Amino acid sequence: MTDTPYTPPKVWTWIKPSGGTFASINRPIAGATHDKALPVGRHPFQLYSMGTPNGVKVTVMFEELLAAGHAAEYDAWLIRIGDGDQFGSGFVEINPNSKIPALVDRSGPAPVRVFESASILMHLAEKFGAFLPASGPARTEVLNWLFWQMGSAPYLGGGFGHFYAYAPVKIEYAIDRFAMETKRQLDVLDRELAGRSFIAGEDYSIADMAIWPWYGQLALGRQYNAAEFLDVESYTNVQRWAKAIDARPAVKRGRMVNRTYGDPAEQLHERHEASDFQTRTQDKLADG
């Protein structure tokens, strides 16, 4: 091992930024850093998010609901986490944890705040009676996998992704530790998907919508430039599942919403109408 030895102090204190890609927005306290009200559009659902895997979960859900004929029109406002928008006072009122996505459901007599991506998926699924069985073992199986993803994501995103792609130095122990766990999780999925079309059975569900933006996109080579390193092609059942979901028109649209990177033709920074996908992507705005 070549890592520099480190002896933790008796009491940790925040002396300097930790370095790495997100050093400018990391801090050990909660709360707002500045006053900023959030915009409100005309639709029943107001989403404040960014096109990270956790954000994609919810925009895919909205687009799938709309494709299925549900009255789930929404405004999606861009929260630029690299700029610290999530620490504005309006956002903190919706999510005191200052993480995207956050939703305000204005379809009832009083606005309801919903934060944490799994909570938003469940809220919408129950509201519209879609993509989540109403009761019984089938519902439990969907929830098993939904919460599996919520528990696993810190290892993939906060662990492997951070140390492999974002940390200021490459630490062999940390990368090995989280690569091992990431591959174990891929193996869990691969074994389960050997006998079923989707992760909770034969029906597409919010469990797939939660898992795919993380592990499906990893399998498709879209996460951390780590496809070769993790040998993702060897997980053949995950590959089949990932490609099937990627081909869904609603998933293609959901991936575009609040996206700020990659092909400008696939970036829709804000979504307010279905027609925005044809008229307001970044390539079209750049062309005037």
pLDDT in tens, 18-53: 666 777 788 899 999 999 999 999 999 999 999 999
Number of folded domains that form the chain:
1
Q: In whole angstroms, what is the distance from residue 172 CA to residue 163 CA?
A: 9
Helix (H, G, I), strand (E, B) or coil at 136: helix
Decide if 271 is inside a domain: no
Decide if 198 is inside a domain: yes
Interacting residues of 37 by C-beta distance below 8 A, sequence separation 6+: 88, 89, 90
Peptide bond into 101 cis (omega under 30): yes
| pLDDT > 50? residue 1 | no
| pLDDT > 90? residue 14 | no
Decide if 76 is inside a domain: no
Range of the domain at 190: 136-253
Of the chain, the percentage scoring pLDDT greater than 70 comes to 96
Decide if 47 is inside a domain: no
One-letter amino acid for residue 92 of the chain: V
CATH number of the domain at 245, please. 1.20.1050.10
pLDDT in tens, 168-184: 999 999 999 999 999 99
pLDDT in tens, 124-183: 999 999 999 999 999 999 999 999 999 998 999 999 999 999 999 999 999 999 999 999
Helix (H, G, I), strand (E, B) or coil at 271: strand
Decide if 32 is inside a domain: no
Decide if 279 is inside a domain: no
Decide if 170 is inside a domain: yes
Q: Where are the alpha helices (DSSP H) in 36-154?
A: 53-67, 89-94, 117-128, 136-153
pLDDT in tens, 209-266: 999 999 999 999 999 999 999 999 999 999 999 999 999 999 999 999 999 999 999 9
**Inter-residue contact 270 to 76 (CB < 8 Å):** yes
Decide if 197 is inside a domain: yes
- Vertex 79: Cα angle to 74 and 81 (nearest 5): 150
Give the per-residue pLDDT at 17.
Answer: 67
Residue (of 127, 145, 156) closest to 224 by Cα position = 156
Give the per-residue pLDDT at 284.
Answer: 94
